[in-house]
Amino acid sequence: MSTPVAPALYGPVQDDIHLVEETLNAIQKVEFPALARMLAHILGAGGKRIRPAIALLAGKIATYDLEKLVPLAASIELLHSATLVHDDVIDAAATRRGRATANALFNNGPTVMVGDFMFAHAAELIARTGSIEVIRLFARTLMEMATGELHQDMSAYEYSSSTIKYFNRIAGKTASLFATAAKGGGMLSGLREDWLEALRSYGENVGMAFQIVDDILDFTGDEAEMGKPVGSDLMQGTLTLPSLLIIERYPDNNPVKRYFEGRQKAESLRRSIEMVRNSSILEESYKVARDFRDRALAALEVLPASEARDALADVAEWVMQRRS
């Protein structure tokens, strides 16, 4: 059984997060022992469940129907977990959040298949909502996430990228699922169209801020808290906002370029991390994240005042303060 982290900031839905957890636990009860062990390892990692919480909070704004909202929230978390499983296979990652990855324990072939199983189960859960529009939203989101991941994988170790490409990539890979959590919850709550658009904008901008902070922490975070080595993104050939700013600022004698070219890799990686930490790049990156956070908060102003809206604002603020 996983033990979720349900921060007080989830406010009016905090006591309902356990229903999402129970749904995820039920998925692990399959008759195939090997599959059950893999699912238990993957889903037993727990987590903050921020995406499901956003879905429930959006649903709390009007008609709060847990019979529909819990499958949506669980589906979103399962989709997120499945993408991480496939990411780890692609990156040949040995650990995630300080735990051995499924591919490290069970090898790549079975891990890819269990990821596929999770995608299929996520689709089954979303069908339980009974909403064709939510099912369509889920399908579009899966395509956007896959496209974002393809952009990242097919541009690995390319240092000619741009911040525009980076934003487009993380909009698909990360922010789209946050947007779907918020809008999907609102759709099941029966909200009018302008409120749904406000929730979509909120979710997208929170997701953008979340990913940028994640990319900053890759340079500054504590390895024990993060559960992965500092500089992991560069090790995988992935350019993020801080590393893009290094390339822009130091176009000639640049350690990121040297690292991607395979020259003095250990020293180039160390130097890249040092340059980010000892420059204004961190503050510039945080400013971009704060701009997205502010857009998210502005989007919420369209919605009627409520405890759920306040909690959504708290989530946006928490994203900027997290350390892992």
Kindly tell me if the per-residue pLDDT of 322 is higher than 50.
Answer: yes
Alpha carbon separation from 70 to 43, 66, 251 (Å, rounded):
16, 5, 49
Burial of 109 (0-12, 13-18, 19+ CB in 10 A): exposed
> 293 near 317, Cβ under 8 Å?
yes
Q: Which residue has the higher pLDDT, 164 or 324?
A: 164
pLDDT tens digits for range 208-253: 999 999 999 999 987 777 777 888 888 888 899 999 999 888 888 8
pLDDT tens digits for range 60-87: 999 999 999 999 999 999 999 999 898 8
pLDDT tens digits for range 248-259: 888 888 899 898
| pLDDT band per the 50, 70, 90 thresholds, residue 5 | very low
Q: For the chain, where are the E strands, in sequence order?
A: 95-96, 99-100
Walk me through the domains of the chain, giving residue ranges and CATH numbers.
8-321 (1.10.600.10)
Q: Which of 27-41, 244-258, 274-288 is predicted most confidently?
A: 274-288
Kindly tell me if the per-residue pLDDT of 268 is higher than 50.
Answer: yes
Q: Which of 3-12, 82-91, 183-192, 222-231 is predicted most confidently?
A: 183-192
Average pLDDT, the chain: 90
Nearest to 70 by CA among 49, 56, 60: 56
Helix orientation angle between 163-170 and 132-154, rounded to the nearest 10 degrees: 140
Q: What is the mean pLDDT of residues 276-301?
A: 96
Tally helices (H) and strands (E) across the chain. 17, 2
pLDDT tens digits for range 117-136: 999 999 999 999 999 999 99
Q: Backbone phi, then psi, for 228, in 5-degree steps?
A: -155, 160
> 318 near 57, Cβ under 8 Å?
no
- The proportion of the chain whose per-residue pLDDT surpasses 90, expressed as a percent, equals 62
Write down the pLDDT at residue 215. 95
> 209 near 286, Cβ under 8 Å?
no
pTM (2 decimals)?
A: 0.92
Q: Could you write out the DSSP letters of every residue in 60-81?
A: TTS---HHHHHHHHHHHHHHHH
Write down the pLDDT at residue 98. 67
Kindly tell me if the per-residue pLDDT of 304 is higher than 90.
Answer: yes
Q: Could you write out the DSSP letters of every residue in 143-174?
A: HHHHHHHHHHHHTTT-----HHHHHHHHIIII
> 61 near 196, Cβ under 8 Å?
no
- The proportion of the chain whose per-residue pLDDT surpasses 70, expressed as a percent, equals 95
